[in-house]
Amino acid sequence: MTSQLKWRVNWWAHPQRFLKNFLSVGLAIAAVTYVETYSEKARPALAASLPALAAEQNNNQRQSSSIRLSQLDDAYTLGAGDTIAISIFNVPEYSGTQQVLADGSVSMPVIGLVNVAGLTPQEAGSAIAIAYQRELRYPQVTVVLESPSPVRVAISGEVSQPGTYTIVPENNAQLPTVTQALQAAGGVTQAADLRQVQLRRQNGRQAVTQTIALDLWALLNDGDVRQDLTLRDGDAIVIGETDSVDVAETNRLSASNLASDNEAEILVAVVGEVFRPGAYQFEGGANKGRTTVTQAVQQAGGVKPSANIRQVQVRRQTRSGTEQIIDLDFWQLLRSGDISQDLVLQQGDTVIIPVALETTPGEVVELAAANLSPDEVRVNVVGEVTSPGMVAVAPNTTLSQAVLAAGGFTNRAKETVELVRLNPDGSVTQRTVEVDVSEGIDPVENPLLLNNDVVIVGRNGRARLSDSLEGVLGPVFRLLPIFNLF
């Protein structure tokens, strides 16, 4: 009675407030009625559209999604073989260590199997708590990963040994990373594009394949360890090939621990203007370092004086079957010390030394003095010289210098000699050269000698006449002592 009276008093005392409250209640009732009516009308259409929306969502989930590194959810998801510690608050008899079974479930006391595959440890704790709600009041479950299972990953592209690898986490705790997987695959090749490495990953229980772009150059040059992601079971790493080759970057890559193992032997071919073209096997080893173009050229006997070292090429096959052509300028190496031109080689490379169309005597001498040329060449000097025979001389030795190395001309020699050269194609060329010891290097008057050249020093006119008279009168003079006896 008192409350009713108070309400009436308040109503009469505050008519404006009563009217305002009355209108608010009326509007609320009208809104609820409208929503219920609209929902009844819209429910059939909404129900009809739900299957289409669900199908579209599932189709989108099956498709691959490309995400940036900053968008990546790198939380660990449980899988078969993982060992987890499950703690249920105030229920120690239900707590303990469990291993995730092959079907992705764990066997819990009383409630049986609980599926945790594709869930983070926190999500697995919530799933186990929900399963225990019928047995416990307000269960509080904590799941901690004790030791992850071995990680099986696929590696393809520009690596030494593409394939699938099972990597056991170190110390039974730390998960393997991208760089550890690449090292397990023998390292990346010199044709690898480290700026666009792809990591493909299944996103938990969903059917979405995430593609994460990694820049391992940022890891090597700037120390960006974020690029070295931890791997999950079922990940795939794809190493693409470079569109254009930067020789300096290739050599820096070869010096990193991401490169292929330098312990392995490699087979490379050297063709063109070298003394012994062909295929050469180079042994690996920690103390030997990696094989470079200059080492391959030296093994092939060195370059010839006619070599064009400004346009040296290295042809390299990629994993996709395409061919990369790398241009090198060894004049930059000889004159300015640009060591980046000395490319590090890998298995199957071909080094091509072309023929120089135009050379100057100064360039020929400079090239012959470099370590790209052989240490010595052997020429045969025969005829009217003091010490005829095979002579070992430096690769920048001229014709006149070879004659002097053989002791010089005798008093019977003529200064016009014959130069006989054995060509690589089996042909023989012969020409007459007038020797002038005061002449410098000249392709015509005083050419550089090549390996196995033959220099023939003939007799002068006086020696030929003396030899002719010796042939005619020699027998007579030998008989004169017999006549003196009588």
Chain segment 99-116, per-residue pLDDT in tens: 999 899 999 999 999 999
Using pLDDT thresholds of 50, 70 and 90, give the confidence band for residue 39. Answer: very low
Across residues 30-49, what is the average pLDDT? Answer: 42
| Pairing of β 112-115 and β 151-157 | unpaired
Using pLDDT thresholds of 50, 70 and 90, give the confidence band for residue 473. Answer: low
Using pLDDT thresholds of 50, 70 and 90, give the confidence band for residue 45. Answer: very low
Choose between 35 and 124: higher pLDDT: 124
The mean predicted confidence, pLDDT, of the chain is 79
Using pLDDT thresholds of 50, 70 and 90, give the confidence band for residue 87. Answer: very high
Across residues 164-184, what is the average pLDDT? Answer: 83
Mean pLDDT lowest for which of 81-90, 147-156, 363-372? 363-372
**Domain 266-369 = CATH 3.10.560.10:** yes
Residue 55 has what pLDDT?
Answer: 47
Instruction: Give me the CATH topology for the region 83-147.
Output: wza like fold (3.30.1950)
Residue 207 has what pLDDT?
Answer: 61
Using pLDDT thresholds of 50, 70 and 90, give the confidence band for residue 43. Answer: very low
Residue 178 has what pLDDT?
Answer: 94
Instruction: Look at residue 422 and tell me whether its pLDDT is greater than 70.
Output: yes
Instruction: Look at residue 264 and tell me whether its pLDDT is greater than 70.
Output: yes
Across residues 144-170, what is the average pLDDT? Answer: 89
Residue 472 has what pLDDT?
Answer: 57
Encoded amino acid at 164, one letter: T
Residue 284 has what pLDDT?
Answer: 72
Percent over 90 (pLDDT), the chain: 32
* Distance (Å, whole) CA 66 – CA 198: 10
Residue 128 has what pLDDT?
Answer: 95
Residue 350 has what pLDDT?
Answer: 96
| Angle, CA 220 vertex, CA 218 and CA 223 arms, to 5° | 70
Instruction: Tell me which H or E stretch contains 117.
Output: none
Mean pLDDT lowest for which of 269-283, 304-318, 447-461? 447-461
* Distance (Å, whole) CA 220 – CA 244: 19
Give, as one character, the DSSP assignment of residue 345.
P
Choose between 61 and 140: higher pLDDT: 140
Instruction: Look at residue 251 and tell me whether its pLDDT is greater than 50.
Output: yes
Instruction: Look at residue 143 and tell me whether its pLDDT is greater than 90.
Output: yes
The token pair at 210 is 């995430």
Across residues 17-32, what is the average pLDDT? Answer: 45
Across residues 86-102, what is the average pLDDT? Answer: 93
Domain 83-147 identical in fold to domain 152-254: no
Residue 33 has what pLDDT?
Answer: 43
Instruction: Give me the CATH topology for the region 377-463.
Output: Outer membrane lipoprotein wza fold like (3.10.560)
Q: Which CATH number fits domain 152-254: 3.30.930.10, 3.10.560.10, 3.40.1280.10, 2.40.160.10?
A: 3.10.560.10
Q: What is the pLDDT of residues 208-220, one digit of tens each?
A: 788 999 999 999 9
Mean pLDDT lowest for which of 390-394, 404-408, 445-449? 445-449
Residue 287 has what pLDDT?
Answer: 56
Choose between 430 and 5: higher pLDDT: 430
Write down the pTM of the prediction: 0.66
Structure-token match 């009383």, residue found = 110
Percent over 70 (pLDDT), the chain: 76
Across residues 434-451, what is the average pLDDT? Answer: 79
* Distance (Å, whole) CA 438 – CA 383: 21
Using pLDDT thresholds of 50, 70 and 90, give the confidence band for residue 468. Answer: low
Exposure letters 129-167 (e unless 16+ CB within 10 A, then b): bebbeeebeebebbbebeebbebebbbbbbbbebeebeb
Where do the structural domains in the chain lie, given as residue ranges?
A: 2-62, 83-147, 152-254, 266-369, 377-463
Across residues 138-146, what is the average pLDDT? Answer: 92
Instruction: Look at residue 320 and tell me whether its pLDDT is greater than 60.
Output: yes
For residue 99, which of 79, 119, 121 has the smallest C-alpha distance? 79
